Amino acid sequence: MRHGKKHNHLGRKTAHRHSMLANMASSLIEHKRINTTVAKAKALKQFVEPLVTKSKEDTTHNRRLVMAKLRQKDAVVELFRTIAPKVGDRPGGYTRIIKLGNRLGDNADMAMIELVDFNEIYNVGKATKKKSTRRSRRGSGAAKAAPAKATQAKKEEE
C-alpha cells in the first residue's frame, strides 16, 4: 500500500532533496525562470507556492518560516520585496511549467518553470485591471439601460 506517500523522492535522501529544492527555489526567485527536469519542476512547484503565499503578508513570523525553508537571505529579501507585491492579488498558481522536450544526453523530459507574473511575453496583451467577483441576482446596470434605449428608439420612430 502507498498510503501517505504523496511527494516524489527524486532518487535522493531527505536532506539532499530538501537542500536541492531550497537551492532550486532560490534560483527561481532570483532568475524568475529556470530549466530542469519535469519531475523536479513539479516537486519545486509544491515547494515554492506555499512560500510565495506566506510572502504576501510581510510579518516577522512569515519571514522566519520562509527563511527556514530557503536558507538564503538574499532570496528571502527578493521574495518579500519584489515578488510578493506583484502577486498580491493572485489567489494561487504563481508558477507555470512549460515542457521543453527531451535532453540530448540522457533523453530526460525537460521543462521550464517560471513565475507567472514575471513573463513579459504572455502578459503584454493583458490589462492590469482588477477583476470584480461581486455578482448580483438583481438586474445590473446594463439590463436597466436596455429598456430605456428601447423607449428612446420608439420615440425617434414616431
The per-residue pLDDT for range 138-155, each reduced to its tens digit, is 765 555 555 555 555 555
pLDDT at 1: 92
Every domain of the chain and the residues it spans: 14-127
Q: Of 56, 61, 64, 47, which Cα lies nearest the Cα of 80?
A: 56
At residue 127, the pLDDT reads 57
Kindly tell me the burial class for residue 40, based on how many C-beta atoms sit within 10 Å of its own C-beta (0-12, 13-18, 19 or more): buried
pLDDT under 70: residue ranges of the chain: 125-136, 139-158
Q: Can you give the pLDDT at residue 123?
A: 72
CATH number of the structural domain 14-127 = 3.90.1030.10
- Which pLDDT does position 141 carry in this prediction? 58
The Cα 89–Cα 32 span in angstroms is: 18
